[in-house]
Amino acid sequence: MRQIDQLFWTRALLGTATGLLSGIMGFFDAGAYRGLLLAFIAYIISYLMAKYVIRLNLPPQESRKIFTTGLGSFIALWLFTWIIYYTIYITLLTSIA
């Protein structure tokens, strides 16, 4: 598997984990901006790791790929996981009461 493909799948998994973490930490309603901040920080850390730790070997004209690869999947999976967690949480909370 190529390094750029590994970066894509790493960000997809990171998006899912960040969404789950946003839900577990209770970033709902007024605290939702904290979930957004958590996702932003997680993505920036993945960018820095790809650039300086993994050191992807890309030509200079394709250096933008380090930032854009997996961005859409990260955002979509982060939101999807967070929404599903919140939906299940509210459903269980209301069924108990």
CA dihedral 46, 64, 34, 89 (to 10 degrees): -70
The pTM of this model reads 0.89
Q: What are the backbone dihedrals phi and psi of residue 70, each rounded to the nearest 5 degrees, phi first?
A: 85, 5
Residues near 88 by beta carbon (within 8 Å), at least 6 away in sequence? none
SS3 content of the chain, % helix, strand, coil (to 5): 80, 0, 20
pLDDT digits (tens, 9 = 90+) for 22-81: 999 988 888 889 999 999 999 999 999 988 888 887 888 888 888 999 999 999 999 999
Q: What DSSP assignment string belongs to 20-88? A: HHHHHTT--GGGHHHHHHHHHHHHHHHHHIIIIIS-----GGGTTHHHHTTHHHHHHHHHHHHHHHHHH
